[in-house]
Structure 1
Amino acid sequence: MRVSSLLRFRSTSLQTSIAKQQQYVPQHKPAVQDDIKRLEDFLISKPNILVLSGAGISTESGIPDYRSEGVGLYARTNHKPIQHLEFVKSSSVRKRYWARNFVGWPNFSSTQPNATHHALARFEREMRVQAVVTQNVDRLHTKAGSRNIVELHGSGYVVKCLSCEYRIDRHEFQTILATLNPAFKDAPDMIRPDGDVEIPVDYIENFHIPECPECGGNLKPEIVFFGDCVPRPRLDKIAEMVYNSDGLLVLGSSLLVFSGYRMVLQMKDLKLPVAIVNIGDTRADHLADIKISAKCGDVIPKLFDFRKTNPL
């Protein structure tokens, strides 16, 4: 292949990759430089800031959220979030969940952090932020290098028993599921172009899920499903982090889920400031000291930019 052809191929591949990553980002206006400077000044004066991240930062890595207009799962598909009680009570619901999860896991687990995740990891190293509390279960903050993280809603990377203390890594569990379900060798073909999963009914009915090897109980991802409660120790830890902070930076969350909105209320009870960066309205706009309606990737990586303050 000639050099010119190779360069065109690489350019096309890069453009395709970027388009795929951005397909779940809702329409938005460009960030305003004055807003970026205002947020930077806000953070400079509050080095012990706490960050709350939501699905809006992971959409830029190619993981869809639920609610974004036109591009969220609610808008694009008939997919609805799993309910905790349905999962616990119904074997058919568990089969459907794990079949879909099995098919989608390779794509989900290979997703990489974007510029916002990497910027937050850098801010932690530079001691500009105290910690990140994330509503996401994708481990992208960990992949980017952040260390002080609380996964508010748990993680998709761990599977646990509902009846005992047994836990297993999700990658290892994938191998077990593959062994039990050889008919799913064509699983990649079940992923639709919009990213959703479409599995034939007979596949779901015949999908095999292992029992807990220690007690025979049902296995579930360590995720707080809708209708379930965030564990009390986790809430207590977050409350302590709020108390020891000097403000909150909300990134990519509509705050419609109360577990995140609670943090804003706790901050305001302590008379601490709140800044929000999110495309569109949030539940806490009326409580925000700073609200920037923009894509996180257009704002956060530009804060404290070493190249900006130290030109070559």
Structure 2
Amino acid sequence: MQAPPSPELDRVLDVLAGRPLVALTGAGLSTDSGIPDYRGPDSPLRRPMTYGEFVSGPAAQRRYWARSHVGWARMRRAAPNPGHLALTELERRGRLRGLITQNVDGLHEEAGSRALITLHGRIADVVCLFCKEITSRTVLQERFEEANPGFADAVGPEIETAPDGDAVLEQTDGFRLVACTRCDGPLKPDVVFFGENVPRDRVARAYAMVDALVPSGGALVVAGSSLTVMSGLRFVKHAAKHGVPVVIVNRGETRGDPHAVLRLHAGTSEVLSALAGATPEPAEDTPIPQWRDLAP
């Protein structure tokens, strides 16, 4: 996918030329894969369930899992788009030294990214709130189908898909929950809900990725995030404070705009593809930096 020529895109490519990069991605990167975002310019007002609501009891958990049961069947069919693939190519060519994502959809992993920190977890994993065992969302989907035969099929295609793998579904009272097979505890997607803290080790590893840009003259590229929540904005502030140039590519304003040296209102697929296309193949004897010790 090629972006139309523009002076703004040329400036982005000039500023980033030859620099090692770390990328911070948000929901706007996955909209080209058919997954809606929370705060895009055309997005409706959404109120996701908070952590406090979820742990309040079975009624809230039933509402969440019923919606998720319908939405997951759609979300797991999503495929990486050119933006995801461009980041993978930048990593392969040695330009992208690390990737921090706020997304939980797993599309970076599917695209082949390895130097990856999934800041908010993965919707494909499920955790028991009692024993903390991690299990597969695919397996849970099968258990929900057995406990609620025909529930997902009865929901018409006009039901809107919402971010993070759920659906805008009102009638959830009859949905039957299933519990942890190990301890019979309540199950929760292994993602960071609103009102819940990102694990400290992930935050520390993400800061380390940004800090490594300082001696190497690198830059931080924000792709598809409004930076509304501090979980992502803190890395932008940290980079700017330490002299690391920040370039933001997003449709719509972001809270990080005052800290950016360049701000491009454009689609992430086009811009990242242009950046990958402008990056030459490394020489055969060029060592490619590895960040496996920073990966989750």
* TM-score for the superposition, normalised by structure 1: 0.81
Q: Where do residues 206-221 of structure 1 align in structure 2 (5 Å cutoff)?
A: 206-221=174-189
SS in structure 1 at match of 2:195: coil
Closer, same or farther in 2 for the Cα pair 1:185/1:297, shift >3 Å? Answer: closer
Native 8 Å contact 1:138 1:157 kept in 2: yes
Native 8 Å contact 2:86 2:276 kept in 1: no
Q: State the partner residue of 2:15.
A: 42
Native 8 Å contact 1:115 1:297 kept in 2: yes
Matched letter for residue 57 of structure 2? S
Structure holding more helix per residue: 1
Matched letter for residue 143 of structure 2? I
Q: State the partner residue of 1:279.
A: 251
Indicate the RMSD between aligned Cα atoms, in angstroms.
2.1
Cα displacement string for residues 88-143 of structure 1 (whole angstroms, at most 9, x for unaligned residues): 11211100110010011111011011111100000000011111111111111111
Mapped pair 1:232 → 2:205? no
Q: State the partner residue of 1:27.
A: none
Mapped pair 1:151 → 2:124? no
* TM-score for the superposition, normalised by structure 2: 0.86
Closer, same or farther in 2 for the Cα pair 1:45/1:305, shift >3 Å? Answer: closer
Closer, same or farther in 2 for the Cα pair 1:264/1:308, shift >3 Å? Answer: closer
Q: State the partner residue of 1:140.
A: 107
Q: State the partner residue of 2:83.
A: 116
Structure 1 outlier segments of 4+, above 3 Å: 193-200, 306-309
Closer, same or farther in 2 for the Cα pair 1:177/1:304, shift >3 Å? Answer: closer
Task: State the alpha-carbon separation in 1 of the partners of residues 229 and 19 from structure 2.
Answer: 26
Q: State the partner residue of 1:298.
A: 270
Native 8 Å contact 2:41 2:251 kept in 1: no
Native 8 Å contact 1:31 1:299 kept in 2: no
Q: State the partner residue of 2:134.
A: 167
Q: Percent identity?
A: 38
Native 8 Å contact 1:43 1:128 kept in 2: no
Q: State the partner residue of 2:36.
A: 64
Cα displacement string for residues 222-241 of structure 1 (whole angstroms, at most 9, x for unaligned residues): 11010000011111111111
Matched letter for residue 41 of structure 1? D
Post-superposition offset of 1:199: 4.2
Matched letter for residue 13 of structure 2? E
Post-superposition offset of 1:190: 3.5
SS in structure 2 at match of 1:66: coil
Native 8 Å contact 2:87 2:276 kept in 1: no
Task: State the alpha-carbon separation in 1 of the partners of residues 90 and 252 from structure 2.
Answer: 25
Greater RCO between the two (CA within 8 Å, min separation 6)?
2
Task: State the alpha-carbon separation in 2 of the partners of residues 199 and 241 from structure 1.
Answer: 39
Closer, same or farther in 2 for the Cα pair 1:191/1:104, shift >3 Å? Answer: farther
Task: State the alpha-carbon separation in 1 of the partners of residues 160 and 62 from structure 2.
Answer: 23
**Which of 134, 143, 148 is the matching residue for 1:176?**
143
Closer, same or farther in 2 for the Cα pair 1:286/1:307, shift >3 Å? Answer: closer
SS in structure 2 at match of 1:110: coil
Task: State the alpha-carbon separation in 2 of the partners of residues 65 and 183 from structure 1.
Answer: 28
SS in structure 2 at match of 1:95: helix
Task: State the alpha-carbon separation in 2 of the partners of residues 213 and 173 from structure 1.
Answer: 10
Closer, same or farther in 2 for the Cα pair 1:219/1:116, shift >3 Å? Answer: same
Decide which structure has the larger Cα Rg and report it: 1
Post-superposition offset of 1:153: 0.9
What is the count of residue pairs matched by the alignment?
A: 271
Task: State the alpha-carbon separation in 1 of the partners of residues 26 and 81 from structure 2.
Answer: 14
Matched letter for residue 161 of structure 2? G
Closer, same or farther in 2 for the Cα pair 1:69/1:305, shift >3 Å? Answer: closer
Task: State the alpha-carbon separation in 2 of the partners of residues 193 and 31 from structure 1.
Answer: 35
Matched letter for residue 186 of structure 2? N
Post-superposition offset of 1:306: 7.0
Provide structure 1 residue ranges, at least 5 long, that are not aligned to the other structure.
Answer: 1-29
